[in-house]
Amino acid sequence: MLHIVNQSPLCSTTLQSVARVAQGGALLLIEDGVIAATKGVDSPLSEIMARMPVYALLPDLEARGLANRVLDGVTVVDYAGFVALVAEHRNCQSWL
Amino acid sequence: MKKFMFVNRKAPYGTVYALESLEVVLIAAAFEQEVSLAFLDDGVYQLVKGMRTKGVEMKNFVPAFRVLPDYDIDKFYVERESLEARGLTEEDLIVDVTLLSAKELGALMDEQDVVLSF
């Protein structure tokens, strides 16, 4: 399953819930969710990265001035990469 | 027939998510899909007994959960960790539920054809 998170880990518990519940597949961070993919932010991302690949959407990183702060191990994708991720997973969940 | 899971993570009344979820659940039921409901995080508050909403002038929509089995929707899954973190037990809930660990719930999500998150 592709798990999609669009909220900041500093304002919402969504990423904590994904860390607790998601068993595998992949995580894609979009919109404010990309904040979790940046250096110096305390979040459960490292725990998630130990279990599954993590992607972050470049246009959202760029829009927030965060594209040069991406954590090692996070794969940056464009919109076409977003579509490819959705296509290659059997199902997906946009966590709210 | 596809397996639909509705994932509910918001408390009722503070936002419209819980009510909207229930509306979509009823639509899915009309199309005779295999529907299950999952409640985690503050979503577990949607099932608490004894709601009185007159004071906030909002409709108490929660009794509708009780009639869902009449539409063949009887799979209510509650994440045990979320329930316990809020000092609640199964006895506090208005419907019969299946308690699952976070891992069990995650595995069940992976099996779905469609997951709708509220």
The residues, ordered by sequence, that sit 6+ positions from B19 with a Cβ below 8 Å of its Cβ are B12, B61
Residues B110, A13: C-beta atoms closer than 8 Å: no
Q: With contact defined as beta carbons under 8 Å apart, do B2 and B33 qualify?
A: yes
CA distance B58 to chain A (A): 23
Tens of pLDDT along B57-79?
A: 889 998 899 999 999 999 999 99
pTM of the model: 0.88
* Minimal-distance CA residue of chain A relative to B17: A96
The CATH number of the domain covering residues in B3-117: 3.40.1260.10
Which residue among A14, A20, A23 places its CB closest to the CB of B110? Answer: A23
* Helix B102-110 / helix A14-21 crossing angle, nearest 10 deg: 80
Which residue among B106, B109, B118 places its CB closest to the CB of A96? Answer: B118
Residues B106, A13: C-beta atoms closer than 8 Å: no
Which residue among B17, B107, B110 places its CB closest to the CB of A96? Answer: B17
Each domain of chain B, given as residue ranges in start order, spans 3-117
Residues A91, B114: C-beta atoms closer than 8 Å: yes
Residues A17, B103: C-beta atoms closer than 8 Å: no
**Ordered mean pLDDT values, 10 residues apiece, chain B (118 residues):** 95 92 92 94 94 89 91 96 94 96 97 96
- ipTM of this predicted structure: 0.78
What mean pLDDT value characterizes chain A? 96
Tens of pLDDT along A26-38?
A: 999 999 999 999 9
- In angstroms, rounded to a whole number, what is the distance separating the alpha carbons of residues A11 and A8? 5
Each domain of chain A, given as residue ranges in start order, spans 2-95
CA nearest to B113, candidates A23, A20, A84, A1: A1
What CATH class has A2-95? Answer: alpha beta
